[in-house]
Amino acid sequence: MTEVTAGVVTESDFVQQFVTLGESKRFNAQAVLIEQNKLQIPQVVEKLIAEAMVEGKQFEERMHLLNIASTIATMHMHWNGDKAPQVRLDPIINKELKEERVRVAEVMKWQKQERLLGNFVMKRNAAAMAEKGVAPVLYPHWMHRIYYECKVCHTSIFEIKRWSNNISHAEFDKGELCAKCHDGEQSFATNDEATCGRCHIAGQPGAERLLKPENIDHEAIQASANRIGAEWWPENLPEGKLPLDRFRMIDWLALKRENVFRPLVSLDQNYKEETRDNRILFVGKTDSVDNVLFDHRIHSDWIGCSTCHPAIFADKLGGNRIRMMEMAQGRFCGHCHGRVSFTFADCKRCHNIPRDAKLESVLHRPHSDKM
């Protein structure tokens, strides 16, 4: 711990000592510090405000600094009788809190539209949309997965990362991004007044259909599939119902197993499909969880090699230090699972091989600590 020097200290030492004393609950020493440095407190508070309000700072970081300033200002008012710094701070803090409440309310509003895994609300350019009188866009991954494997879009049309593709009508007018397909032939157009509302539908009553796959319209899907050269055979579904997993998400593997759909692999007729036909057993270090079997074939069926290698995983057995903590933040398996593919809460779907099981013909991946 920093030792507290009595007397007048520099501004930055003052803040550091004040915080250290607060953390160790030495409030009397804090009061002494406030009294001895009363002349420079208005500047200290001013500096903290300036630091807090630097552009691009996160709300939490900003409030952390403003809270320190506020504690100093309150004690300064109490011990030194000067309330000017506090009066200066109050409206700044109130404005921040109010703006945060508005931000949170906005997020909650759109979260409802995104509750279905892989549904993304797109509204980077919300002001321009409001001006044209259209709602934000709701992009439904699930509906596109019926017609296309992931590799059709990732990564030749879209980087596999939200907000990173600069999606706009300027690009559509050049036939790029969504308009690679939404061109009025393969699918409805982006420049036709009659169809704006099919994409600009987030938060509108018509969005219900995109939020509830259980109300799927098989005839419409079949007609679209036939038009683009994919297949949809709802007669192979018991009572026409989509198979759902325990978390009521669409079970895509069951759909393939039951021979319900055959998506396109590429928009290019001459495309040579490449898959890797092996399985990799992740052997865990602790006894607390079962081992994880990763199926290269199932994954490379849907996803291009270059989507995963080298951006998400080094293509070397045991070459990645995979941790659940990092996965939860969207790295490794978490790049897709929990965002577009089934959720993390489904532990057993990945930790699916008992530790004492003997498996033939799988690659045994050493625990990554042995790297």
| Binders in 218-257 for ligand HEC, by CB under 6 A | 224, 228, 252-253
Pick one of 34, 72, 152, 216: the residue that binds ligand HEC (CB under 6 A): 152
Identify the burial level of 34 via C-beta atoms within 10 angstroms of its C-beta, where 0-12 means exposed, 13-18 middle and 19 or more buried.
Answer: buried
Binders of ligand HEC in range 287-346 (CB under 6 A)? 288-289, 292, 294-296, 298-300, 302-303, 305, 307-309, 312-313, 315-320, 322-324, 332-333, 335-337, 339-342, 344-346
Please check whether residue 250 is in contact with residue 213, taking contact to mean a CB–CB distance below 8 angstroms. yes
Distance CA 193, CA 179 (A): 15
What is the token pair recorded at 229? 């050269």
Distance CA 297, CA 302 (A): 9
Sign of CA dihedral 187, 191, 195, 197: positive
Distance CA 178, CA 176 (A): 6
Provide the minimum distance between the beta carbon of 58 and ligand HEC in the complex, in angstroms, as a whole number: 19
Beta carbon nearer to ligand HEC, 67 or 125:
125
Binders of ligand HEC in range 7-36 (CB under 6 A)? none
> Using the rule CB under 6 A, is 284 a contact of ligand HEC?
yes
Beta carbon nearer to ligand HEC, 76 or 182:
182
Provide the minimum distance between the beta carbon of 16 and ligand HEC in the complex, in angstroms, as a whole number: 36
- How many residues touch ligand HEC under the rule CB under 6 A: the total is 111
> Using the rule CB under 6 A, is 362 a contact of ligand HEC?
no
> Using the rule CB under 6 A, is 85 a contact of ligand HEC?
no
- Stretch in the footprint of ligand HEC (CB under 6 A) among 1-9, 11-19, 32-40, 133-141: 133-141
Number of C-beta neighbours around residue 354 at 10 A: 8
> Using the rule CB under 6 A, is 260 a contact of ligand HEC?
no
Please check whether residue 270 is in contact with residue 244, taking contact to mean a CB–CB distance below 8 angstroms. no
Please check whether residue 335 is in contact with residue 312, taking contact to mean a CB–CB distance below 8 angstroms. yes
Beta carbon nearer to ligand HEC, 69 or 353:
353
Distance CA 207, CA 99 (A): 28
Pick one of 14, 18, 139, 142: the residue that binds ligand HEC (CB under 6 A): 139
Provide the minimum distance between the beta carbon of 115 and ligand HEC in the complex, in angstroms, as a whole number: 15
Sign of CA dihedral 266, 176, 201, 161: positive
Provide the minimum distance between the beta carbon of 255 and ligand HEC in the complex, in angstroms, as a whole number: 9
Beta-carbon contacts of 356 under 8 Å, excluding residues fewer than 6 positions away, are none
Provide the minimum distance between the beta carbon of 191 and ligand HEC in the complex, in angstroms, as a whole number: 5
Distance CA 273, CA 270 (A): 9
Binders of ligand HEC in range 166-205 (CB under 6 A)? 167-170, 177-178, 180-182, 186-188, 190-193, 195-196, 198-200
Provide the minimum distance between the beta carbon of 254 and ligand HEC in the complex, in angstroms, as a whole number: 9
> Using the rule CB under 6 A, is 144 a contact of ligand HEC?
yes
Please check whether residue 296 is in contact with residue 363, taking contact to mean a CB–CB distance below 8 angstroms. no
Backbone dihedral region of 362: left (phi > 0), alpha (psi from -120 to 50 degrees) or beta? beta
